[in-house]
Amino acid sequence: MLELQNLNVGYGYLQVVWDVSLKIHQGEVVAILGLNGAGKTTTLKTIAGVLTPKSGKILFNGQDITGLPTCQLVKLGLSFIPEERNLFTAMTVRENLLMGAYILKDNAEVKRNLDYVLELFPRLAERSKQLAGTMSGGERQMLAIGRGLMSKPKMVMLDEPSMGLSPKNVLVVFDAVKKLREEKVTVVIVEQNVNTTLSVADRAYVMEQGRIAMEGSSEELAKDDHVRKMYLGIA
């Protein structure tokens, strides 16, 4: 479903992603792990059309999407939920969610997607009339994820969705990922919460200093000595 071919990305003269190639199949949950500054966010932003690669190709369902603007990618079924939540703070929770469905023309479909998101995150249903800017950090994070799902994407890219959440809400987020997986939505997830992430992901890539250092099934990686030492804090 998604293929990166020899992607090189940087900021000005500084190159931070080196020759990254990967393949993600339809319905898979794939994690991208790595230490701070490894290039994970840069990679996601490049796929999402926020950054333009210096070289390399991005294919989505066989179509070359390299350099396409984000709005066109949403129409193709790709949703990116960034680390910075980018909510419309002066709008209500419900209005923020509806903004996520702006590409849909059919009101009945918008209503269905809204019901689906509110079921996934009941807290958002309770707070639907509250201004997004007055929601707590964790609630805002759920709102950002919910909004990203309002277009019923075929593939979702989540950048550190559990960041700043209480243990209970971390579970809410990972439950949402499990539900997406049951619905055969493809998920690419970047997380520091390596243990929990490997328990929901089918496969993972490990990025180190801008390159893919390892790849494998979650089971394999969870057993790997290097991964255990570097990412799970197990000596």
Q: Which does 46 bind (CB under 5 to 8 A by kind): Mg ion, ligand ATP, none?
A: none
C-alpha 83/C-alpha 43 separation (Å) is 13
Q: How far is the CB of 11 from Mg ion (least distance, A)?
A: 13
Q: Closest separation between CB of residue 39 and Mg ion, Å?
A: 9
**Closest approach of Cβ 7 to ligand ATP, in Å?**
12
Quick one: 41 or 151, whose CB is closer to Mg ion? Answer: 41
User: Using the rule CB under 5 A, is 79 a contact of Mg ion?
Assistant: no
Residue 113 binds which entry of Mg ion, ligand ATP, none, CB below 5-8 Å type-dependent: none
| Residue 11 partner contact from Mg ion, ligand ATP, none using kind-dependent CB cut-offs of 5 to 8 Å | ligand ATP
Residue nearest Mg ion, Cβ-based: 41
Is the Cβ of residue 114 or residue 227 nearer to ligand ATP in the bound state? 227
Q: How many residues bind Mg ion (CB under 5 A)?
A: 1
Residue 55 C-beta: closest distance to ligand ATP, Å: 17
CB 130 within 8 A of CB 143: no
| Assigned token pair, 188 | 């690419």
Let me know: does 48 contact 157? Beta carbons within 8 Å: yes
Count Cβ neighbours within 10 Å for each residue of 101-134 and write b for 16 or more, e otherwise. Answer: beebeeeeebeebbeebbebbebbbebeeebbee
Residues 27-66 that bind Mg ion (CB under 5 A): 41
Judged by the rule CB under 6 A, the positions of this chain that interact with ligand ATP are: 11, 14, 16, 34, 36-42
- Output 101 or 190, the one with its CB closest to ligand ATP: 190
